[in-house]
Amino acid sequence: MKKVILITGASSGMGKETAVKLIHEGHIVYTVARRIDQMQDLKSLGGHPLQMDVTREEDIQYVVDTIISKEGRIDVLWNNAGYGLYGSVEDVSLTEARKEMEVNVFGMAAMTQKVVPFMRKAKSGLIINTSSMGGKMYFPMGAWYHASKHAVEGLSDCLRLELKQFNIKVAVLEPGFIATEFGSVLLHNFSKISPQSAYTGMMDKIIHGTKRAGQGNGSSKPSVIADTVSKIVSSTNPKTRYRVGKFARPMVWMRTYLGDRLFDKIVMSQM
């Protein structure tokens, strides 16, 4: 069945790869991101790219109004926009931390608030929220990123219970290491921190590990996310969570069953 799908954060990586797949499957796909120039190829494939910043309510309202006026409905909302902010709690400014939360958490919530009324009216809908394996565990230097993804997990659970009465499904996507721009953003964040930071030794090891993960078999291809989202979209009864990609399952398993102290030792052994 052809569905009207709205994807945020679709200018690259997982969002863009998935948009291509869903378009090829015959769905009506609207993609939004700040960098609209990077989505023009989706337009040539039959997609509908729109420029939007998830931190601007007027942008969100325009996008939702545009889709409703043209299609009359939104069947699937994939809240995929987000980024990683890395650095120690001591070093990262609260201005940067608030921006992280604004994009990763409040942007997702704002999109959801604008779309849900139409799904309620239709008594049908699917919301997919991109969390991360980082929403279930943690690494040093990632406090604000992990905090944002832990918030996505909690928000999604509450949302699922609230919307069940309206036949709206909520699924959480928990990717592991995926070959996207995430690593380059992480390295850029580190470059803004003073070289006199007390945490340079730890940062150097994380930088080395990030570069290594970006080579060879250190990350999964975005296509594993595209295949998973396609599966969620076509399911009549999707699971509440989908853990997919390099290291996602084993890392979350260790965090769940080994306890804090042992998991801490495992993580720090890599430092």
Let me know if 234 is a catalytic residue: no
Let me know if 83 is a catalytic residue: no
Average pLDDT of the residues of the chain = 93
Which residue out of 132, 145, 156, 246 is catalytically annotated?
A: 145
Of 117, 242, 107, 243, the closest CA to residue 168 belongs to 117
Distances, alpha carbon 4 to alpha carbons 67, 85, 159, 226, 270, in Å: 9, 32, 21, 16, 44
181: pLDDT strictly greater than 70: no
236: pLDDT strictly greater than 60: yes
pLDDT recorded at residue 213: 62
Residue 126: φ, ψ to 5°: -140, 130
Residue 215's pLDDT band (boundaries 50, 70, 90)?
Answer: low
Structure tokens at 256: 């769940």
Reduced to 3 states (helix: H, G, I; strand: E, B; else coil), residue 112 is: helix
Which residue out of 21, 114, 149, 169 is catalytically annotated?
A: 149
pTM for the model: 0.93
184: pLDDT strictly greater than 80: no
Which residue out of 11, 148, 156, 220 is catalytically annotated?
A: 11
Q: Write the pLDDT tens digit of every residue in 248-271.
A: 999 999 999 999 999 999 998 876
Residue 183's pLDDT band (boundaries 50, 70, 90)?
Answer: low
Domain limits at 62?
4-268
Block residue for tokens 């990717």: 175
Let me know if 62 is a catalytic residue: no
Residue 193's pLDDT band (boundaries 50, 70, 90)?
Answer: confident
Let me know if 246 is a catalytic residue: no
CATH of the domain at 118: 3.40.50.720
The answer to whether 203 and 191 have CB atoms below 8 angstroms apart is: no
pLDDT recorded at residue 209: 75
Q: Write the pLDDT tens digit of every residue in 57-70.
A: 999 999 999 999 99
Q: Give strand ranges (E) for the chain.
A: 4-8, 28-33, 48-51, 76-79, 125-130, 168-175, 241-244
Q: Rounded distance, CA 211 to CA 261, Å?
A: 27
Q: Helix/strand/coil (H, E, C) string of 12-43?
A: CHHHHHHHHHHHHCCCEEEEEECCHHHHHHHH
Residue 44's pLDDT band (boundaries 50, 70, 90)?
Answer: very high
Which residue out of 131, 148, 219, 220 is catalytically annotated?
A: 131
Residue 217's pLDDT band (boundaries 50, 70, 90)?
Answer: low
**DSSP annotation of 267:** H
Q: Rounded distance, CA 38 to CA 40, Å?
A: 6
**Order of all β-strands in the sheet with 241-244:** 48-51, 28-33, 4-8, 76-79, 125-130, 168-175, 241-244
Number of domains in the chain: 1
